[in-house]
Structure 1
Amino acid sequence: MPSTKKTLHFMSSALATSISVGLIGYGMSAQWVKTTMECAQENSDYYNGSAVITLTLFDGIIERASCPLFGATDKFQVIPTLAGREIASVVLQGLVICLLALCLLFSACSILISLYNSVSNPYETYMGPVGVYICSSLSACLSVIVLILFVVNVTATNMAETFVEKYTEGVPVKLKGKASEMQVGYYLVIPYTVLSLIAIALIYTYEHAAYTRKKEQQKPTEDAPMDLTMY
């Protein structure tokens, strides 16, 4: 059976990772970004309308006021709406969702490995501390990539404009002044990353302490006089 200290460290690592999974699971269903734009008819220079797009990872709501003529509120599915209209946005949005799914998978593996180590003494294989390091590191790295890709999709592509153009009742419009504000779903990825790193730190702390203790136990023998070590 493992020592109490080892059990506590690996259980704490599993707990940190479990909390991170709960956060990212909730975040995937929450709002990620809110984008506002000024709107005008194509033949007018007077931007008297506005459009507000609120997105989760999978669906969204567009609220139009005098854009282009009247106002309305419409709900839509993100990827089906973008398909065939904005290829770059579809690819980036799909990547974000796939990477988050991988984050959940690697986090689940990290939890299982941590729990296994808390009740047993496996050899130094992928089922030991190395497994936690690999899984949690991948989770942290992929989550950082998600943060970057989503911002790129919101700011560097015409994703928001595509949603507005689809729901302007076939009337051409001009859009300007796009401003995006990240929402709770996006920001929950940050504590997920931090907790994944904390899970690694907990295991590393135990491993470092165990290694130091082992070296200290060997030191008296290494420092003993030669004539004593011969007997």
Structure 2
Amino acid sequence: MPAQQKKIIFCIAGVLSFACALGTAAAIGTQLWVKGTILCKTGALLVNATGQELEKFIGKIQYGLLYGERVRQCGLGGRPFQFSFFPDLLKIIPASIHVSVILFCTVLIIFALVGAGFFMFNAFGSPYETLHGPVGLYLWNFIACSCGCLIMILFSSEVKIHHLSEKIANFKEGSFIFKTHSEQFANSFWIILVCSLVQFLNTLLIRFAGFEFPFSKSKDSGTVTGAADLMY
């Protein structure tokens, strides 16, 4: 492939990696990871609410990784309540999983930025070491893509398996019991999915630029000298 086309491909991949870093950083700061509704089970049972009457006991909840908001509905109108995970909810949520999600988000941002920098370096610079060449590009994208997958797996398990929404809804509730009526992942969660797919797409762009996948070369090609192995 001509050098000019390689530069264009690397520039596109670099821009995509930088966009992933910005998107992940923006996702961390929002409360649009989960949206749902919560049912005031105690209040509904007291009046035996059914049908349209049940809607008076269904509130709303939305939250992200750092903070969120819920609207408490127990038949007397909605009462909004703001909350933050640190330090308010650490005692009732699976803190190790939640902190791991934030940590992997940070790692994703870092390696997406590193990948963007190395893409630009390969496009306009003169790479000479292995980690400055295609092997390094594969490595940074693989790490970033893996972090995105881990974020989605860990956060999904926190929400679905550990019933995070119910734990938040029942936070500091004495006489009322709340149950999750419905919940769905919101925009910020899907941004992480898109970022993971973009990192995978960057891997295909590297291959499209003419560089073999790591460890895919045959043994016959191993006769070159060590200095040549560091070049491409």
CA distance in 2, matches of 1:166, 1:38: 14
Deviation track 1:23-42 (CA, whole Å, cap 9, x = no partner) reads: 22222233110122211338
CA distance in 1, matches of 2:125, 2:41: 67
The alignment status of 1:83 with 2:90, answered yes or no, reads yes
Question: Retained in 2: the 8 A contact 1:153–1:159?
Answer: yes
Q: Corresponding residue for 1:105?
A: 110
Q: Corresponding residue for 2:37?
A: 36
Deviation track 1:13-65 (CA, whole Å, cap 9, x = no partner) reads: 21121222232222223311012221133894646523322102210001011
Name the count of aligned residue pairs: 203
In 2 relative to 1, CA 79–178 (structure 1 residues): closer, same or farther, beyond 3 Å? farther
Q: Corresponding residue for 1:25?
A: 25
The alignment status of 1:201 with 2:208, answered yes or no, reads no
Q: Which runs of 5+ in 2 are unaligned?
A: 213-232
Q: Corresponding residue for 1:152?
A: 157
In 2 relative to 1, CA 9–187 (structure 1 residues): closer, same or farther, beyond 3 Å? same
Q: Corresponding residue for 2:221?
A: none
Question: Retained in 1: the 8 A contact 2:20–2:109?
Answer: no
CA distance in 2, matches of 1:92, 1:160: 15
**What amino acid maps onto 2:184 in structure 1?**
E
Q: Which runs of 5+ in 1 are unaligned?
A: 210-231
**What is the SS of the residue equivalent to 2:170?**
helix
Deviation track 1:131-184 (CA, whole Å, cap 9, x = no partner) reads: 11111111111101111111111111132222222243xx32233354211111
Question: Retained in 1: the 8 A contact 2:37–2:181?
Answer: yes
CA distance in 2, matches of 1:7, 1:41: 63
Q: Aligned runs of 1:3-152 on 2, under 5 Å?
A: 3-30=3-30, 31-41=32-42, 44=45, 46=48, 48=54, 49-66=57-74, 71-86=78-93, 88=94, 90-152=95-157
Question: Retained in 2: the 8 A contact 1:79–1:93?
Answer: no
CA RMSD of aligned residues (A): 2.4
**What is the SS of the residue equivalent to 2:104?**
helix
TM-score (norm 1): 0.78
TM-score (norm 2): 0.78
**What amino acid maps onto 1:174 in structure 2?**
I
**What amino acid maps onto 2:83 in structure 1?**
F
**TM-fit CA distance, 1:5:** 2.7
CA distance in 2, matches of 1:106, 1:78: 26
Deviation track 1:190-222 (CA, whole Å, cap 9, x = no partner) reads: 21112111222222222349xxxxxxxxxxxxx
CA distance in 2, matches of 1:116, 1:139: 18
**What is the SS of the residue equivalent to 1:207?**
coil
**What is the SS of the residue equivalent to 2:35?**
strand
Moved over 6 A (4+): none
Identity of paired residues, percent? Answer: 19
